[in-house]
Amino acid sequence: MNRNFRLIRLLASLVLVLLLAATPVLAVPAPDDSDALAGLAGATGKALFDINIGVAPKTFDASMGMLALYLDVIKQTHAGLKSQGLTPDIIVAFRGSAVTLVTDTASVAVKGLITELAGMGIKFEACNIATKLTGTPNDSILLEIKVVGNTFISAVGYQAKGYSPILIQ
């Protein structure tokens, strides 16, 4: 009986070693964007992030947190384009009540991300129509952000220039 137990233990150990050795073969490949980016090596990845996050007094802090999350994803998108052989060319446009999130009262996280992203070459715009409608003074918009006449017009122009629109609401 003792001998059978040793034999079973030896066989179980052998099976375990074989399974562990085969694990790399069975591993799922890391996700990538190769299908979408096939044939584009060396090209410019043009994106227009159109941010219109709803903001109300009750949701201001949550909306600020959501904006920080999206800005971080934009940062990851920039890095992902770069690491996959494209030159990122990204514009972020704020419209609607989202303009209230990018003023001198923005969270430390949002201010830091906007400064960092601007340093990476990402351009920012805020809609003058939206600042008027929300009562947001244009001189309170963060310095890295250019106030433009109308981000709808910006969207038309940038799409005509080949930028892919990405809507964030």
pLDDT at 160 over 90: yes
The dihedral of CA 167, 124, 53, 112: what is its sign?
A: positive
pLDDT number for residue 167: 97
pLDDT digits (tens, 9 = 90+) for 106-127: 999 999 999 999 999 999 999 9
pLDDT at 100 over 60: yes
pLDDT digits (tens, 9 = 90+) for 124-158: 999 999 999 999 999 999 999 999 999 999 999 99
Measure the CA angle with vertex 64, ends 62 and 69; round to 5°: 95
pTM: 0.82
What is the CATH number assigned to the segment(s) 42-168? 3.40.1260.10
Contact 124, 118 (CB under 8 A): yes
**Residue 79 and residue 73: Cα distance in Å, rounded?**
10
pLDDT at 25 over 60: no
Between residues 77 and 18, the one the model is more confident about: 77
Question: Domain locations in the chain?
Answer: 42-168
Structure tokens at 76: 């990851």
Which residues touch 118 (CB under 8 Å, ≥6 apart)? 124, 144
pLDDT digits (tens, 9 = 90+) for 51-63: 999 999 999 999 9
